[in-house]
Amino acid sequence: MVYDVVVIGAGAAGLMCAAQAGYAGRRVLVLDHANKAGKKILMSGGGRCNFTNLGTTPQHFYSENPYFCISALKRYRPEHFVELVDRHGVEYVEKAPGQLFCATSAKEILRVLQTECEWAGVEIRLQTQITRVERHGEGIRLATSLGRVDAGVVVVASGGLSIPTMGATGFGYELARQFGLEVLPTRPGLVPFTLSDAWKARCAELSGVSLPVAVSSGERRFVEPMLFTHRGLSGPSVLQISSVWQPGSTIEIDLLPSENAADSLRYARETTPKRQVSTWLGERFPKRFAQALLEWYPDTHVSKPLAQYSNDELDQWACRLNQWQLKPAGTEGWRTAEVTMGGVSTEMISSKTFEVKDVPQLRFIGEVLDVTGELGGYNFQWAWASGVACGQAC
């Protein structure tokens, strides 16, 4: 079988790239080992796919080379993808500022991509194993479970390592190494934290409780909800900070991000001296959490009115509310991570065409590259933008 372009991976980036190359008149084949295309699209955004973020800028991405993503993101912007879904009649909602989700189901986004591929004449073959990829003259030859496939260009869109049960493999990294490219260390990103025994048990009791907080690690701070889980902590703020967290380090959680607890407690002591700390906490937190705080710190909570609290005692409360220090035991790992940090180094990849500098017939796009977005639709925007740039250049 002979094709102009063979795309490895029928995910977000691969399908987008294939459609573009097809529209450009190329004979395109997409290969995937999974039994279904776009599995991650289907499970994304809680089944509703946060397919873009209207506020996408290069600053929302992590990469050893922060400039690499600029060109593709500039050329294919969120409005372009919105125009595409509009054309296909997909209804969507802006759930948080800039974050667009399908109104009904993530299936709609997969339908758009599959329809585009069909219109562009792209052939998609699933449940196909690729056992060898090597240069062959000016092109590339693949050994697959379908037999030998010759291609002018091979685009690697095999994604990262998160959620192996959805078909994730290290295929793209192995191929990159085979062609002499550097692969930067990978680790799970946008992933819940696990906690050690005492805190694990405490948080497990609060499982399901969500609070608006600010979570910090080093220089980064995210003001978004946090969710207690059976294993530890999750929710948008925690997922965001997990991408920058270094194992063994402490995170800081501000449980009252828009209030200086020290000032408020002193003010309350002055104006309502008979009030109890429990009442003050109850006005700010869900009942279960306020009660838990009192149980966690029994030494500083005695049943006495605020008037009897010393400045030191109030400061102790303020500190644990505005600067709760917590050392996660780890993360839930690849099993639940939304993305992979690190990956194929962009150093030898063209940011315009995504071709490998010394091997122009080989290209890498999407999450397999060392470009990872924050939470909020940025990762799909990267998949679309890199897919379009590469597909149009194939």
Residue numbers of the site for ligand FDA (CB under 6 A)? 8-14, 31-34, 39-40, 43-45, 49-50, 130, 157-159, 162-163, 167-169, 171, 338-339, 366-367, 377-380, 383
Q: Which is nearer to ligand FDA, 313 or 374 (CB)?
A: 374
Q: Which is nearer to ligand FDA, 34 or 117 (CB)?
A: 34
- Min dist CB 191 to ligand FDA, Å, is 10
Q: Tokens 């190329």 — which residue?
A: 26
- Min dist CB 333 to ligand FDA, Å, is 12
Q: Which is nearer to ligand FDA, 102 or 293 (CB)?
A: 102
Q: Which is nearer to ligand FDA, 69 or 261 (CB)?
A: 69
- Min dist CB 171 to ligand FDA, Å, is 3
Q: How far apart are CA 321 and CA 110, in angstroms?
A: 44
Distances (CA, A) of 385 to 6, 14, 56, 121: 19, 11, 11, 21
- Min dist CB 358 to ligand FDA, Å, is 23
Contact 24, 392 (CB under 8 A): yes
Contact 142, 171 (CB under 8 A): no
Contact 218, 224 (CB under 8 A): no
Q: Which is nearer to ligand FDA, 34 or 393 (CB)?
A: 34
381 contacts: CB under 8 Å, gap ≥ 6: 52, 53, 56, 73, 78, 81, 373
Distances (CA, A) of 222 to 31, 215, 257, 337, 379: 38, 5, 10, 18, 18
- Min dist CB 192 to ligand FDA, Å, is 11
Q: Which is nearer to ligand FDA, 91 or 263 (CB)?
A: 91
Distances (CA, A) of 116 to 9, 23, 51, 72: 16, 9, 16, 20
- Min dist CB 229 to ligand FDA, Å, is 15
Q: Which is nearer to ligand FDA, 255 or 375 (CB)?
A: 375
Beta carbons within 10 angstroms of residue 28's beta carbon: 29
Amino acid at 137: G
- Min dist CB 8 to ligand FDA, Å, is 5
Chain residue whose CB lies nearest ligand FDA: 11
Pairing of strands 2-8, 147-156: parallel
Q: Which is nearer to ligand FDA, 173 or 309 (CB)?
A: 173
Q: Which is nearer to ligand FDA, 76 or 380 (CB)?
A: 380
Contact 384, 12 (CB under 8 A): yes
Contact 66, 25 (CB under 8 A): no
- Min dist CB 294 to ligand FDA, Å, is 36
- Min dist CB 46 to ligand FDA, Å, is 8
Could you tell me where the DSSP H helices lie in the chain?
Answer: 12-23, 39-43, 70-75, 78-87, 107-119, 171-178, 197-205, 236-242, 261-271, 277-282, 287-296, 311-322, 378-393
Q: How far apart are CA 231 and CA 362, in angstroms?
A: 42
Q: Which is nearer to ligand FDA, 318 or 375 (CB)?
A: 375
Q: Which two tokens stand for residue 354?
A: 């995504």
- Min dist CB 326 to ligand FDA, Å, is 24
